[in-house]
């Protein structure tokens, strides 16, 4: 049996924050888009839920903020650090311009379902779940589509542009010889939940003691916890047993030990193998990688989702016109890469500095930790607390929505016909 063949303007591999936002914005601008997501739904493992002011601002520009915030979420206005016995506010988001002056904590699947609902209402958008992108289709040096596996069998999708937004394990860039630069990470992270009870405070806080680090994130009726361990040390942690892990976590969280009984076994603990890397180049003719597929981020600052969304916005802003006019060239793709490479470089450089100067030292320390000078300076300066919040919350050179919403008469001016055709 021959593969089914579809034809569209843009096919996106991966329905994460980058792929769904890019698909939504391009379809909103009148471009035929197919997004492929290999899973059957968005309701999967915890993958972070920090929606930063940069993303909230974009929702506002799209006129979707109120509807978006009607979904259950918690607001975090300040980030606290706790080194040894000293506790201090290190980032103050409330100093950013209102109303998007906080981090909204919302499960990633709610965020993705919201985008899927909004995009699904557009005539130019098509989401294919349980459909896995496999191989790029090449014609000479150019990418002209991809092959995929769907529940109905193999499929080829031809497109003017293939976007890899399929996360940090994407195999597509390698198929066109795009190499990865590994910036290294000294740690991994163990994620788990602990119930929150009446009388607990609401602070999202990172606690550093000698040899151990725990970040606890306020999530209403539970704490989302990130226990930072040296790279590759999960087997050692497991070897010491769940009881030792519960004791250590309870101590770091300053919670009664019994609260950690909720953690029945290591099955409830999810390992995030941290990597920080980026592609040397993000594009080839007809091909662009964005989000984690182009640059895996460290969890420092919780910026991964938000940078992926920023990439998507820049992609739509810069490629909508050439895609509509069907005159897309590699130089358009290079312009997206240039625009996004700078913020990614700055943030990754900051993350690597924090990883090496703060996290690796805290994990290696055998003596009681003293707060570094910088901790004390930031904690006493409202200006620096605001600056840190700006860097983490808004990022570097934040994107704004520049694509217009598609109007039916745009078709006469070159917009593609709704929905892809089966050939
Ligand atoms: C445990 C954990 C905790 C995290 N915590 C945070 C946090 O607190 N804050 C934060 O900002 N970031 C966090 N991150 C990082 C964040 O999840 C990513 O940076 C962000 O989701 C990147 O978005 P993306 O769209 O580029 O890729 P992804 O979110 O990885 O999305 C890629 C999508 O592509 C799909 N896919 C993969 N391969 C294929 C294929 N071949 N064909 C079709 N579909 C495919 C995947 O199923 C997935 O849905 C965390 C990540 C993990 C794993």
The last residue of a domain, from among 245, 272, 299: 272
Per-chain mean pLDDT for the chain: 92
d(CA 165, CA 35): 9
Per-residue pLDDT of 92-141, as tens digits, reads: 999 999 999 999 999 999 999 999 999 999 999 999 999 999 999 999 99
Classify burial at 66, counting beta carbons within 10 Å of its beta carbon; exposed 0-12, middle 13-18, buried 19 or more.
exposed
The last residue of a domain, from among 220, 248, 272: 272
Q: What is the mean pLDDT of residues 153-161?
A: 97
Q: Which residues pair with 105 in a beta bridge?
A: 50, 74
**CATH code at 413?**
3.50.50.60
Shared domain check, 268 and 298: no
pLDDT exceeds 80 at position 181:
yes
Give the distance (Å) from ligand 1 centre to CA of residue 46: 10
Per-residue pLDDT of 346-379, as tens digits, reads: 999 999 999 998 899 889 988 888 888 888 898 8
Shared domain check, 192 and 174: no
Domain limits at 199?
187-230+233-272
220: left (phi over 0), alpha (psi -120 to 50) or beta: left
Confidence of residue 408 (pLDDT cuts 50, 70, 90): low
Determine whether the shortest distance from the Cβ of 129 to ligand 1 is under 6 A.
Answer: no
The residue nearest atom 29 of ligand 1, judged by CA position, is: 16
Q: Give the model's pLDDT for residue 419.
A: 41
Q: The whole model's pTM is what?
A: 0.93
Shared domain check, 115 and 175: yes
- Best mutation site among 47, 151, 172, 312 for ligand 1 pocket (most ligand atoms within 8 Å of CB): 47
Shared domain check, 192 and 179: no
Shared domain check, 33 and 107: yes
Shared domain check, 191 and 173: no
Shared domain check, 252 and 286: no
Determine whether the shortest distance from the Cβ of 363 to ligand 1 is under 6 A.
Answer: no
Determine whether the shortest distance from the Cβ of 312 to ligand 1 is under 6 A.
Answer: no
Shared domain check, 397 and 356: yes
The last residue of a domain, from among 243, 272, 301: 272
Give the distance (Å) from ligand 1 centre to CA of residue 76: 22
Shared domain check, 128 and 32: yes
Shared domain check, 285 and 258: no
The residue nearest atom 35 of ligand 1, judged by CA position, is: 14
Among the listed ranges 35-44, 55-64, 274-283, 338-347, which one has the minimum average pLDDT value? 35-44
Nearest CA to 21 out of 8, 33, 9 is that of 33
Report how many domains make up the chain: 2
Per-residue pLDDT of 247-294, as tens digits, reads: 999 999 888 899 999 999 999 999 999 999 999 999 999 999 999 999
* Token code pair at residue 239: 């070897």
Per-residue pLDDT of 222-249, as tens digits, reads: 999 999 999 999 999 999 999 999 999 9
Shared domain check, 113 and 30: yes
Shared domain check, 195 and 162: no
Determine whether the shortest distance from the Cβ of 292 to ligand 1 is under 6 A.
Answer: yes
């Amino acid at each position: 049996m021959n593969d089914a063949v579809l034809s569209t303007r843009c096919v996106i591999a991966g329905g994460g924050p980058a792929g769904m936002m890019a698909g939504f914005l391009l379809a909103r601008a009148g471009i035929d888009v197919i997004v492929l997501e290999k899973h059957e739904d968005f309701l999967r493992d915890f993958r972070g839920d920090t929606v930063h002011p940069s993303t909230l601002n974009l929702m506002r520009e799209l006129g979707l903020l109120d509807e978006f915030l009607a979904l259950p979420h918690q607001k975090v206005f300040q980030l606290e650090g706790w080194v040894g016995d000293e506790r201090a506010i290190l980032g103050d988001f409330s100093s950013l311009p209102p109303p998007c002056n906080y981090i909204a904590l919302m499960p990633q699947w709610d965020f993705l379902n919201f985008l899927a609902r909004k995009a699904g209402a557009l005539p130019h958008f098509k989401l294919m779940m349980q459909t896995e992108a496999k191989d790029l289709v090449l014609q000479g040096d150019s990418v002209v589509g991809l092959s995929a596996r769907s529940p109905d069998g193999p499929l080829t999708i031809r497109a003017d542009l293939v976007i890899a937004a399929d996360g940090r394990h994407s195999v597509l860039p390698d198929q066109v010889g795009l190499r990865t630069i590994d910036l290294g990470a000294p740690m991994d992270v163990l994620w788990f939940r602990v119930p929150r009870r009446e009388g607990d405070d609401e602070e999202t806080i990172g606690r550093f003691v000698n040899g151990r680090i725990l970040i606890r994130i306020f999530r209403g009726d539970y704490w989302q916890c990130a226990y930072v361990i040296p790279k590759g040390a999960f087997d050692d942690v497991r070897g010491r047993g769940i009881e030792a892990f519960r004791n250590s976590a309870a101590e770091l969280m300053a919670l009664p030990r019994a609260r950690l009984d909720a953690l029945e076994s290591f099955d409830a603990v999810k390992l995030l193998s941290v990597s920080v890397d980026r592609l040397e180049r993000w594009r080839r003719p007809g091909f662009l990688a964005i989000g984690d597929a182009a640059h895996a981020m460290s969890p420092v600052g919780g910026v991964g989702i938000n940078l992926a969304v920023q990439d998507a916005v820049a992609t739509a802003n810069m490629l909508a016109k050439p895609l509509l006019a069907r005159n897309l060239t590699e130089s358009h793709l290079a312009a997206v890469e240039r625009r996004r490479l700078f913020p990614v470089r700055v943030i990754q450089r900051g993350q690597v500095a924090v990883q090496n100067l703060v996290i690796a030292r805290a994990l290696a320390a055998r003596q009681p930790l003293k707060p570094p000078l910088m901790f004390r300076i930031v904690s006493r300066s409202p200006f620096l607390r605001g600056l840190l919040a700006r860097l983490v919350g808004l990022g570097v050179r934040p994107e704004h929505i520049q694509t217009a919403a598609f109007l039916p008469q745009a078709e006469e001016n070159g917009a593609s016909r709704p929905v892809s055709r089966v050939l």
